[in-house]
Amino acid sequence: MNDLTNLSAYTNYMTDSSRVATENLQKNLQSADKAAKEKEDDALFDACKQFEAYLWEQVYKEMQKTVDIFGEDEDGYASNMVDYFKDSVIQQISEQTATQGSNSLAQMLYEQAKINYGIS
């Protein structure tokens, strides 16, 4: 009879150990799944912000074409330098414009993409 009591205690111990291991594994999988979803979510929002920044950059470049402040020079060197820095500034302004406001185009694209792709 004593042998069966020890066997029962061992079986209970193994059952409890398996249950705890299973619960721990489920918690780890849930947290890993949540982290992966958050990473995908962040990547989606970043892509939306980049798209909006690109659109603003195109708008600013077209606006700049309507006003030629710097004119033409003979050698072209100064004009090339101005164009280089002008493009850089336009890109920076576009990125800043895209991140402003809670009702930005990026935010709307992000929310619509989440709905379209069933991301919760």
Say yes or no to pLDDT of 62 above 50. Answer: yes
Within a domain: 99:
yes
Structural domain includes residue 10: no
- Establish if 67 belongs to a structural domain: yes
Question: Rounded to whole angstroms, what are the CA distances from 6 to 12, 17, 70, 71?
Answer: 10, 16, 93, 95
In a domain, 52, yes or no: yes
Residue 72 confidence (pLDDT): 56
Q: Which of 37-46, 60-69, 82-91, 100-109 has the lowest mean pLDDT?
A: 60-69
The pLDDT value recorded for residue 1 is 47
**How many Å is the maximal CA-CA distance in the chain?**
107
Domain that holds residue 105: 37-116
Q: What is the tally of structural domains in the chain?
A: 1
Instruction: Tell me which amino acid residue 105 is.
Output: L
